[in-house]
């Protein structure tokens, strides 16, 4: 598949602060690509550059082969944006909003009317299309927000956190719409979110972004494979190198390492009780089997377990593993 | 076309908002009614001595010795149907004014007829009590002024024609007065009556300033209507600023920026609605002043002699207001700042620029300081056109000043504008 989007070393700086710091990736035609990261990671800034809202400080990107700086008009014509905010005119009806945004993309007359009817059907709002948007529920507004990004039939759609503040029913409807657009119309979609469940459900490949950098990019299966069979987080009074070595040697354990890399690890315990417990992060090949072995090992040596967490392999865990923090922190 | 789509959408949004109707049309008209004496006229007598809905009582002290011309004047006043005359002596008038039995008195000077016959200017005085109703005062002044002007003109024309008749009888046929010469003479008399009147009406407001207030040709409606139109059209600048702020707050501005529309088209789309609404505002205010104000006993607005100059001035004022809106949108960061800047800057500039009361009436200093705001030049332009009857050449300086302000606001606004 040819690439609909190619991003090379894209940078956006505000003074000394790099909101986006040298990111590169590509999206194939017909792909649903996820940008996963916590708030402030640089997802929206990346989209803002790719949609021509802000100019990049460095790097390049091409949409459908058109450079986003030199051929901005062409890139805008084939891409669509569904912003995080409900970017609509509340006192106008859904139809009037869509009509207006269609005109901005140069649509007129019968074509415009057909496109408006089409996107209203996609988001299942045909029967209430003539009501002012301000009368809609939050979920319905979100659906109109999506429709406004579709009215000109873009080849590449940027969906920026489209489910923020949406009830479960509308969220499901949005998921269905995204999958339908991709499956039936071959639309390429870049989906940003800090909800890993959404990205897992919708996306073929995911770039995990943190502090303006892409820290991992792969298919969801490959990203999860980083974690093997899952992670155990075990609280003990003292973490020593000897303890880590012996835990790593247990069956079904891939690796044991300090939960907090900043904490200094002594070779052996000096027998003095530690003021605070420490955490060991244990990467496993099979979390259940490894758990049995770890508990047995610690009991045999009378090492008390002060806490125990089993992290199943998912994107949240991958993010935690890669950054040491949670997605929604 | 895309800018036009944005403009049409903005106009639609604006007209959906009841606040727009209030701020664009209702408030300016309300101010005009109040300041042009509308309340006085609508409120009726208010303790004044009016005798009916259309007629006002006018006490008269006629001190004219020969009485010929003064009687003609009083006859005209009564014939106008606007007033009912009440002859009084000077002592009676003074006493009744003191006890507030009457609020106005017209005093005709002693040698009124004789002075006129001798070509010496004289003065008819309309004395008003401190608590006299402003609307009635203005209405009486207009009635007296009209009667005096008509009388003087007629007397001068008749005298002139009699003189010509006498000369005609004594002249040879070739030197006789042709129709053209007679018309020219009549026109000359008319101009003279307008520019060098033999009789003037002065207003005296005892107890207010102790000084006579000489009536000039600026009438309430001719000054207040364009003044308040200017004030409220500049106030509409905050509509532009607020519209841009709302687009940014709602995120639609970001969505538009992501669309295939240039930043210049986007700005043009945001400018155009205010320009159009401001021009509609001018049209509505002027139409009300022409057609509605006379129905409530106020003067009809006279749009002057040069419609092209008037249109040009209106367009430039509207444009200046619109670009000021861009500047406010560029400078203000919050909705409160927009409201604050608009209130302080636009109202302040309106007062300083004479949109509420012409600055030259207040002080020379204020008249000079006022030049730093566009309102001053707008008011000055309208005064030149609507009060003094000037034309395009007479408003060249106000137009140039407004154009300069427009460019300044636009350049500064675009320079400071944050598209994010």
Q: Give A193-251 pLDDT, tens digit per residue.
A: 888 888 888 998 999 999 999 999 999 888 888 878 888 989 998 888 899 999 999 99
CA triplet A39, A42, A43: central angle to 5 degrees? 80
From B2, B254, B260, residue closest to A53, measured CB to CB: B254
Q: Which residue matches tokens 């707008």? A: B378
Return the H-helix or E-strand segment holding B251. Answer: none
B264 Cβ partners below 8 Å, 6+ apart?
none
B269, closest residue in chain A (CA to CA): A104
Q: Give B269-315 pLDDT, tens digit per residue.
A: 988 988 999 999 999 999 988 888 888 777 788 888 899 999 999 99
Q: CA-to-CA distance for B199 and B101, rounded, in angstroms?
A: 29
pLDDT at B174: 56
pLDDT at B287: 92
Contact A87 B260 (CB under 8 A): no
* Residues of chain B found within 8 Å of residue A148, distances taken between Cβ atoms: 255
The dihedral formed by the CA atoms of A219, A220, A225 and A229, expressed in degrees to the nearest 10:
-170
Q: φ and ψ at A315, to 5 degrees?
A: -65, -30
pLDDT at A299: 93
Contact B250 A84 (CB under 8 A): no
Percent of chain B beyond pLDDT 90? 16
B328, β-bridge pairs: none
| Arithmetic mean of pLDDT, B366-370 | 81
Say if A109 is an interface residue toward chain B (CB within 8 Å).
no
Predicted confidence (pLDDT) at residue B40 exceeds the cutoff of 50: no
* Residues of chain A found within 8 Å of residue B260, distances taken between Cβ atoms: 73, 76-77, 104-106
Pairing of strands A307-311, B199-204: unpaired
Burial of B283 (0-12, 13-18, 19+ CB in 10 A): exposed
Q: Considering the entire predicted model, what is its pTM?
A: 0.67
- In b/e form, how buried is each residue of B363-374, taking b as 16+ CB within 10 angstroms? eeebbeebeebb
Token pair of A317 as six digits: 């865990």
Say if A11 is an interface residue toward chain B (CB within 8 Å).
no
Predicted confidence (pLDDT) at residue B43 exceeds the cutoff of 50: no
CA triplet A4, A9, A15: central angle to 5 degrees? 125
From A89, A96, A104, residue closest to B2, measured CB to CB: A104
pLDDT at A95: 96
Q: Are B380 and B295 in contact (CB under 8 A)?
A: no
* DSSP conformation letters of A156-203: EEEEESTTTT--HHHHHHHHHHHHHHHHHH--EEEEEES-HHHHHHH-
Contact B255 A83 (CB under 8 A): yes
Q: Which of A95, A104, A107, A148 would you mutate first to test chain B, the one with the most B CBs within 10 A?
A: A104
Contact B420 A91 (CB under 8 A): no
Q: Which of B17, B258, B269, B419 would you mutate first to test chain A, the one with the most A CBs within 10 A?
A: B258
Token pair of B233 as six digits: 């059209």
**Min Cα separation B311/chain A (Å):** 32
**Min Cα separation A86/chain B (Å):** 7
Chain B residues at the A interface, defined by Cβ less than 8 Å, are: 1-2, 5-6, 9, 12-13, 16-17, 250-252, 254-261, 419-420
The dihedral formed by the CA atoms of A296, A300, A306 and A312, expressed in degrees to the nearest 10:
-20
* Residues of chain B found within 8 Å of residue A54, distances taken between Cβ atoms: 420
* DSSP conformation letters of B134-174: HHHHHHHHHHHHHHHHHHHHHHHHHHHHHHHHHHHHHS-GG
CA triplet A260, A266, A272: central angle to 5 degrees? 105
Contact A83 B258 (CB under 8 A): yes
CA triplet A120, A125, A127: central angle to 5 degrees? 110
What is residue B21's DSSP assignment? H
* Residues of chain A found within 8 Å of residue B256, distances taken between Cβ atoms: 104
Mean pLDDT of all residues belonging to chain B: 79
In 3D space, the residue among A204, A235, A228, A211 whose CA is nearest the CA of residue A284 turns out to be: A228
Q: CA-to-CA distance for A59 and B130, rounded, in angstroms?
A: 78
In 3D space, the residue among B255, B247, B253 whose CA is nearest the CA of residue A82 turns out to be: B255
Q: Are B143 and B171 in contact (CB under 8 A)?
A: no
| Arithmetic mean of pLDDT, B141-162 | 76
* Residues of chain A found within 8 Å of residue B6, distances taken between Cβ atoms: 104
Q: CA-to-CA distance for B215 and B411, rounded, in angstroms?
A: 43
> What is the sign, positive or negative, of the torsion defined by CA atoms of B73, B74, B75, B76?
positive
For residue A102, count other CB atoms closer than 10 A to its CB.
Answer: 21
Predicted confidence (pLDDT) at residue B50 exceeds the cutoff of 50: no
3-state secondary structure B260-280: CCCHHHHHHHHHHHHHHHHHH
Chain centroid offset of residue B174 CA: 50
Say if A87 is an interface residue toward chain B (CB within 8 Å).
yes
Predicted confidence (pLDDT) at residue B316 exceeds the cutoff of 90: yes
Q: Which residue matches tokens 């009486």? A: B140
For residue B294, count other CB atoms closer than 10 A to its CB.
Answer: 13
In 3D space, the residue among A26, A20, A30 whose CA is nearest the CA of residue A5 turns out to be: A26
Token pair of B35 as six digits: 């300041």
Q: Give B169-217 pLDDT, tens digit per residue.
A: 665 555 555 666 666 666 665 566 556 666 666 666 554 444 444 343 3
pLDDT at A212: 92
Q: CA-to-CA distance for B152 and B199, rounded, in angstroms?
A: 7
Q: Which is higher by pLDDT, B257 or B387?
A: B257
**Min Cα separation B32/chain A (Å):** 32
Mean pLDDT of all residues belonging to chain A: 88
Q: CA-to-CA distance for B215 and B141, rounded, in angstroms?
A: 9
**Min Cα separation B35/chain A (Å):** 36
What is residue B304's DSSP assignment? -
**Min Cα separation B264/chain A (Å):** 14
Q: CA-to-CA distance for B420 and B417, rounded, in angstroms?
A: 9
* Residues of chain A found within 8 Å of residue B251, distances taken between Cβ atoms: 83-87
What is residue B387's DSSP assignment? I
Q: Give A59-83 pLDDT, tens digit per residue.
A: 999 999 999 999 998 999 999 999 9
End-to-end CA distance of chain A: 37
B261, closest residue in chain A (CA to CA): A104
Q: How confident is the model at residue B236 (pLDDT cuts 50, 70, 90)?
A: confident
From B5, B13, B419, residue closest to A103, measured CB to CB: B5
Q: φ and ψ at A80, to 5 degrees?
A: -130, 150
Q: CA-to-CA distance for A176 and A174, rounded, in angstroms?
A: 5
Q: CA-to-CA distance for B29 and B150, rounded, in angstroms?
A: 32
**Min Cα separation B29/chain A (Å):** 27
A283, β-bridge pairs: A255
**Min Cα separation A210/chain B (Å):** 22
Alpha carbon of A257 to those of A241, A277, A315, A327, B255: distances in Å? 9, 15, 20, 21, 46
What is residue A7's DSSP assignment? E
From A52, A88, A96, residue closest to B258, measured CB to CB: A52
* Residues of chain A found within 8 Å of residue B2, distances taken between Cβ atoms: 103-104, 106
Token pair of B219 as six digits: 């009438």
pLDDT at A246: 93
Contact B252 A87 (CB under 8 A): yes
* Residues of chain A found within 8 Å of residue B17, distances taken between Cβ atoms: 91
Token pair of A17 as six digits: 């602060």
pLDDT at A157: 94
Contact A91 B16 (CB under 8 A): yes
Contact A104 B257 (CB under 8 A): no
From B6, B13, B254, residue closest to A87, measured CB to CB: B254
Q: Are A163 and A139 in contact (CB under 8 A)?
A: no
Q: Give B110-124 pLDDT, tens digit per residue.
A: 888 888 888 788 888
- In b/e form, how buried is each residue of B61-92, taking b as 16+ CB within 10 angstroms? bbebeeeebbeebbebbeeeebbbebebeeeb
A194 Cβ partners below 8 Å, 6+ apart?
A36, A37, A38, A39, A41, A161, A327, A328
Q: Which residue matches tokens 């012996």? A: A246
Chain centroid offset of residue A289 CA: 31
CA triplet B130, B133, B139: central angle to 5 degrees? 120
Q: Which residues of chain A have pLDDT under 70?
A: 1, 261-277, 326-329
pLDDT at B374: 94
In 3D space, the residue among A150, A143, A207 whose CA is nearest the CA of residue A175 turns out to be: A143
3-state secondary structure A108-139: CHHHHHHHHHHHHHHCCCHHHCCCEHHHCCHH
In 3D space, the residue among B271, B305, B288, B297 whose CA is nearest the CA of residue B228 turns out to be: B288
Say if A97 is an interface residue toward chain B (CB within 8 Å).
no
Token pair of B110 as six digits: 């002693």
């Amino acid at each position: 598949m040819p690439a609909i989007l190619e991003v090379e070393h894209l940078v956006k700086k505000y003074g000394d602060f790099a909101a986006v710091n040298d990111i590169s990736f590509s999206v194939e035609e017909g792909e649903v690509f996820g940008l996963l990261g916590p708030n402030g990671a640089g997802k929206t800034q990346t989209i803002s550059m790719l949609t021509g809202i802000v100019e990049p400080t460095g790097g390049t990107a091409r949409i459908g082969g058109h450079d986003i700086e030199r051929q901005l008009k062409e890139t805008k014509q084939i891409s669509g944006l569904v912003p995080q905010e409900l970017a609509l005119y509340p006192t106008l009806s859904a139809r009037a909003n869509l009509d207006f945004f269609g005109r901005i993309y140069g649509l007129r007359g019968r074509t415009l009317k057909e496109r408006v009817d089409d996107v209203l059907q996609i988001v299942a709002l045909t029967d209430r299309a003539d009501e002012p948007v301000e009368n809609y529920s939050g979920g319905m507004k979100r659906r109109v927000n999506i429709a406004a990004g579709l009215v000109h039939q873009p080849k590449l759609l940027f969906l920026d956190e489209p489910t923020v503040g949406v009830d479960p029913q509308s969220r499901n409807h949005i998921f269905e719409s995204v999958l339908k657009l991709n499956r039936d119309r071959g639309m390429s979609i870049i989906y940003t979110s800090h909800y890993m469940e959404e990205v897992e459900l919708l996306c073929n490949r995911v770039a995990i972004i943190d502090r303006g950098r892409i820290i991992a990019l792969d298919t969801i299966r490959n990203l999860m494979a980083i974690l093997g069979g899952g992670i155990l987080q075990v609280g003990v009074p003292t973490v020593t190198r000897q303890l880590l070595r012996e835990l790593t040697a247990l069956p079904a354990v891939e690796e044991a390492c300090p939960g907090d890399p900043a904490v200094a690890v002594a070779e052996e315990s000096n027998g003095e009780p530690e003021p605070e417990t420490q955490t060991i992060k244990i990467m496993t090949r099979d979390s259940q089997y490894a758990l049995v072995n770890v508990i047995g090992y610690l009991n045999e040596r009378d090492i008390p377990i002060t806490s125990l967490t089993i992290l199943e392999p998912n994107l949240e865990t991958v993010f935690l593993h890669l950054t040491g923090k949670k997605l929604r922190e | 076309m895309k800018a036009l789509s944005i403009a049409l959408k903005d106009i639609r949004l604006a007209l959906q908002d009841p606040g727009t109707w209030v701020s664009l049309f209702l408030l300016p008209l309300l101010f005009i009614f109040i300041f042009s004496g509308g309340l006085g006229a609508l409120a009726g007598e208010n303790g004044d001595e009016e005798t009916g809905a259309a007629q006002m009582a006018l006490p008269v002290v006629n001190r004219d010795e020969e009485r010929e011309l003064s009687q003609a004047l009083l006859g005209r006043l009564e014939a106008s149907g606007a007033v009912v005359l009440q002859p009084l002596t000077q002592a009676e008038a003074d006493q009744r004014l003191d006890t507030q039995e009457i609020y106005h008195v017209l005093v005709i000077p002693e040698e009124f007829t004789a002075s006129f016959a001798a070509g010496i200017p004289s003065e008819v005085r309309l004395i008003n009590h401190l608590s006299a109703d402003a609307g009635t005062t203005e209405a009486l002044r207009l009635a007296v002024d009209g009667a005096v002007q008509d009388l003087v003109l007629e007397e001068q024309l008749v005298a002139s024609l009699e003189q010509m008749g006498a000369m005609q009888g004594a002249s040879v046929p070739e030197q006789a007065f042709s129709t053209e010469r007679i018309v020219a003479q009549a026109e000359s008399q008319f101009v003279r009556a307008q520019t060098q009147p033999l009789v003037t009406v002065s207003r005296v407001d005892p107890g207010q300033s102790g000084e006579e207030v000489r009536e000039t040709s600026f009438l309430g409606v001719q000054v207040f209507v364009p003044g308040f139109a200017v004030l409220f059209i500049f106030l509409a600048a905050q509509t532009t600023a607020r519209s841009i702020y709302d687009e940014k707050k709602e995120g639609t501005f970001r969505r538009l920026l992501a669309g295939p529309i240039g930043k210049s088209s986007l700005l043009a789309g945001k400018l155009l609605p205010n320009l159009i609404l401001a021009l509609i505002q001018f049209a509505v205010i002027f139409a009300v002043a022409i057609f509605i104000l006379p129905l409530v006993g106020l003067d009809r607005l006279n749009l002057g002699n040069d419609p092209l100059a008037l249109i040009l001035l209106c367009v430039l004022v509207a444009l200046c207001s619109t670009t000021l809106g861009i500047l406010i949108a560029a400078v203000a960061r919050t909705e409160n700042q927009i409201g604050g800047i608009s209130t302080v800057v636009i109202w302040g500039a309106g007062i300083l620029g004479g949109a509420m009361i012409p600055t030259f009436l207040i002080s020379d200093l204020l008249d000079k300081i006022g030049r730093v705001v566009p309102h001053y030049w707008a008011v000055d332009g309208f005064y030149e056109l609507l009060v003094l009857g000037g034309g395009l050449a007479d408003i060249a300086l106000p137009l140039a000043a407004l154009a300069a302000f427009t460019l300044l606001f636009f350049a500064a606004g675009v320079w400071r504008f944050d598209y994010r």
